[in-house]
Amino acid sequence: MPETSSGAGRYAPSPSGDLHFGNLRTALLAWLFARGTGRAFHLRVEDIDTQRSSAESAQRQIEDLLTLGLDFDGCVVHQSDRFPAYEQALTELPVYECYCSRREIREAAAAPHVTPGTYPGTCRDLTGAERARRREELAEEDRVPALRLRAGVTEWTVQDYFHGPYTGTVDDFVLRRGGRADQGRDWAYNLAVVVDDGHQGVDQVVRGDDLLSSAPRQAYLAHLLGLPEPGYVHVPLVLNDRGQRLAKRDGAVTLREMLADAPLAEIVGRLAASLGITGVRTAGELLEHFNPAELPREPFVWGSV
């Protein structure tokens, strides 16, 4: 088991639908890692995407996690209530306006000298006159620019429980999205998650390993904001029988759907079996047997237990 800490772990779902088996497995792992190391465990609703999020979905997710046997410390934090904190963070960071459309970014990023998946810096060093011209062009379309971090490094190294030291690319990533002037702008995930982890005292981030590549950007941002960089635990995903990430469209995979056909104890048993543990029927029993060093390192295939 990792070293005992007085910090906190967390689970932070986006309220865009019911949690499925893969989501529940990651939530369970986050709870097990936190409780197993004496940490507090927080729940955060990541509802900054106003077009996809709903209060009803958030409530259903909270109910499902409690049904599963996961308990939380303190109040549930909603990112939609945290906008002033993100505004304050922006004043502490080197930023610049970005006027690029998605098409412009796509075309510039295709250049042979640009690292795939990174912003090529098109707007980074524009002159004042060029910025004024681009700002006017957007205003004519009733649009506002995005805000990007002016990164001072090109890579950053994080420590992951399973992957060890991991060095990844850091570019001038978006902190606040652009868009239509009459609709406001959405905060970017990378900024919100770092500010909120700092606010909640999170020093252990457990999540799917598809997010490993984003950890260096977030750790670097924490560094710039004077926040402690958390330790990371990126766990294998749950895949369907086609080798794709499990999704609700794979059918009968949400907790409510599974409960229609099986008792809760059996579902907890399935989750435990996906972690290589058998003979348990509750989250509390699973915690007693949990040893992260013995967790399977390969993706779990839905339907294999």
Domain presence at residue 99? yes
How far out from the chain centre does Cα 195 lie?
12
Residue listed under structure tokens 């097990």:
32
DSSP letter for 74, please. S
Residues 133 and 92 in one domain: yes
124 marked as part of a ligand binding site = no
User: CB of 40 within 8 A of CB of 34?
Assistant: yes
- For residue 56, being part of any structural domain is answered with yes
Summarised one tens digit per residue, pLDDT across range 52-64 is 788 999 999 999 9
Do 99 and 19 share a structural domain?
Answer: no
Average pLDDT over residues 221-240: 96
What was the pLDDT predicted at 6?
A: 78
Annotated ligand binding at 166? The verdict is: no
Whether the Cβ atoms of residue 56 and residue 62 lie closer than 8 Å to each other: no
What is the span of the domain harbouring residue 69?
8-80+236-301
Q: Pick the range with the lowest mean pLDDT from 104-108, 127-131, 143-147, 239-243.
A: 104-108
Residue 274 among known ligand-binding residues: no
Would you tell me how many other CB atoms lie within 10 Å of the CB of residue 144?
A: 21
- Number of structural domains in the chain: 2
pLDDT at 181: 66
The CATH number of whichever domain residue 162 belongs to comes to 3.90.800.10
13 is in an annotated binding site: yes
Looking at per-residue pLDDT, the higher value among 49 and 238 belongs to 238
CA distances from 273 to 10, 42, 158, 304 (A): 23, 25, 30, 10
pLDDT at 108 over 90: no
CB 4 within 8 A of CB 38: yes
Pairing of strands 231-235, 202-208: parallel
- The answer to whether the annotation marks 161 as part of a ligand binding site is no
Residues 178 and 108 in one domain: yes
Q: Report the CATH number at residue 13.
A: 3.40.50.620
98 is in an annotated binding site: yes
Strands (E), 50-193: 77-78, 95-98, 143-144, 146-149, 155-160, 164-169, 174-176, 179-180
Structure tokens at 81: 């209530």
- Say what the pTM is: 0.93
**What does the alpha-carbon distance between residue 18 and residue 269 come to, in Å, rounded to a whole number?**
20
